Chains A and B, each alone.
Chain A
Amino acid sequence: KQEVTQIPAALSVPEGENLVLNCSFTDSAIYNLQWFRQDPGKGLTSLLLIQSSQREQTSGRLNASLDKSSGRSTLYIAASQPGDSATYLCAVRRSGGGADGLTFGKGTHLIIQP
């Protein structure tokens, strides 16, 4: 059974810092990995999707990497801003045509101090 772990569970940093969020998964047979953010009481916003054949994806100040063989992904946030405060969730989809549901980690609760 796939298990996804996110470390740290919570993180508080001053504005302007670069930071890294970690995600690990136990079964390397994944179809893709997706990073989301969730604001309090809201749904999920997709940030980046990395297919299993890719090593990284970038969008603005965000960069996500994937090392499938070691079961790890990182989300790098450059020049953090107070608006980046949210819970960040990592989710993997099992291989097999991409038809399975997502398995989520518990998330990293991020606070950016102004």
Chain B
Amino acid sequence: KAGVTQTPRYLIKTRGQQVTLSCSPISGHRSVSWYQQTPGQGLQFLFEYFSETQRNKGNFPGRFSGRQFSNSRSEMNVSTLELGDSALYLCASRLTGSGETQYFGPGTRLLVL
């Protein structure tokens, strides 16, 4: 069974631009979560989607948004990019959004210049 896939793997943007990242969960998984990883803050939870609905949201500004499609694929959007948004963005999926193991993708590395 294929794992979690994320596209693109690398991205360079400039301040003020917006970016959209994509995540395809493991087949059959209905829950998709997004995390931001930076050297200073470590891994931080952004939000989780389950059956096209946002269930939980971390402590991030409204510039960070996401959505989930009927096939469980998810996209994350960051508008008005700031230098501090440079990070590894990780997507994770799990089966039903309860307490099961969470499986992570390889991440999208975003550099904001």
Q: Please give, as numbers and ranges, the residues of chain A lying within 8 Å of B43 by CB-CB distance.
A: 89, 91, 102, 104
Contact B101 A103 (CB under 8 A): no
Contact A44 B104 (CB under 8 A): yes
Contact B56 A34 (CB under 8 A): no
Complex Cα spacing A44 to B93, Å: 12
Complex Cα spacing A106 to B43, Å: 8
A49, CB-defined interface residue at 8 Å: yes
Complex Cα spacing A105 to B37, Å: 12
Complex Cα spacing A103 to B56, Å: 13
Contact B102 A97 (CB under 8 A): no
Contact B99 A43 (CB under 8 A): no
Contact A36 B104 (CB under 8 A): yes
Which residue of B97, B103, B106 is within 8 Å of A99 (Cβ)? Answer: B97
Nearest-Cβ distance from residue B101 to partner chain A, whole angstroms = 5
Contact B102 A98 (CB under 8 A): no
Contact A46 B42 (CB under 8 A): no
Q: Please give, as numbers and ranges, the residues of chain B lying within 8 Å of A107 by CB-CB distance.
A: 42
Please encode chain B, from 77 to 113, with 1 for each CB lying within 8 Å of some chain A CB and 0 for all others: 0000000000000101000011111111111010000
Which residue of A43, A45, A105 is within 8 Å of B107 (Cβ)? Answer: A43
Complex Cα spacing A41 to B101, Å: 22
Contact B99 A106 (CB under 8 A): no
Nearest-Cβ distance from residue A55 to partner chain B, whole angstroms = 16
B58, CB-defined interface residue at 8 Å: yes
Q: Please give, as numbers and ranges, the residues of chain A lying within 8 Å of B48 by CB-CB distance.
A: 99, 101
A61, CB-defined interface residue at 8 Å: no
B45, CB-defined interface residue at 8 Å: yes
A68, CB-defined interface residue at 8 Å: no
Q: Can you list 9 A-B contacts (CB < 8 A)? A: A43-B107, A44-B92, A44-B104, A46-B101, A46-B102, A100-B45, A101-B58, A104-B43, A105-B42
- Identify the A interface with B (CB < 8 A): 31-32, 34, 36, 41-46, 49, 51, 89, 91, 93, 97-107
